[in-house]
Structure 1
């Protein structure tokens, strides 16, 4: 279901449980937010080799968007704000497909 601001809500599915909610205009935007919560590797190349499957169900529908996701840590940019730490977590995703839930 689309909110007034155009964003949609997606729920992370793990072993039938749905607990974390991510929002975004598109499923990929929500998946990128979810990917940043994964345990990060030291570099992007290591992280991509160690990817994790994440499943996001769009609230109000039976669609489950499936992504391969990975995260890594890297140095923060030189022009970072004062509150930001020295290391930041980056994430990336690759869409595998969509499944429909049958209840």
Structure 2
């Protein structure tokens, strides 16, 4: 279901089918990036050795978007605002496909 501002809600599905966290975004990738930032980060982008599987179901549909996601720590940019910490978590995702639930 699309909200008035164009964003959609995606629910993170666990392997056992439970759904806990909700991420919003205009695209499934935007929601997947938000979910990936919550993964345990590697020390740097080069140290990423394993990728988590993120399964995001769009609310109101039976479509499950599947991504591989990973996160790492990085120094904040030089022009960062005062409220931003010195070390930030960055993330990336790679889409693997879409499944449809039979429920």
Q: Which category describes the TM-score, using the shorter chain as reference length? A: over 0.9
Which residue of structure 2 aligns with residue 40 of structure 1?
41
Which residue of structure 1 aligns with residue 50 of structure 2?
50
Backbone CA RMSD of aligned residues: 0.7
> Residue 68 of structure 2 aligns to a residue in which SS?
strand
Give the TM-score of the pair, scaled to structure 2: 0.96
Q: In the aligned structure 1, how far is the partner of 2:59 from the partner of 2:13?
A: 11
Q: In the aligned structure 2, how far is the partner of 1:95 from the partner of 1:45?
A: 20
> Residue 6 of structure 1 aligns to a residue in which SS?
coil
What stretches of structure 2 of length at least 5 have no aligned partner? none
1:44-63 per-position Cα deviation (integer Å, ceiling 9, x unaligned): 1222x311001000000000
* Alpha-carbon offset, residue 43 of structure 1: 1.3
Which residue of structure 2 aligns with residue 64 of structure 1?
64
Q: In the aligned structure 1, how far is the partner of 2:61 from the partner of 2:74?
A: 36
* Alpha-carbon offset, residue 19 of structure 1: 0.8
Give the TM-score of the pair, scaled to structure 1: 0.96
| 2:73 counterpart of 1:76 | no
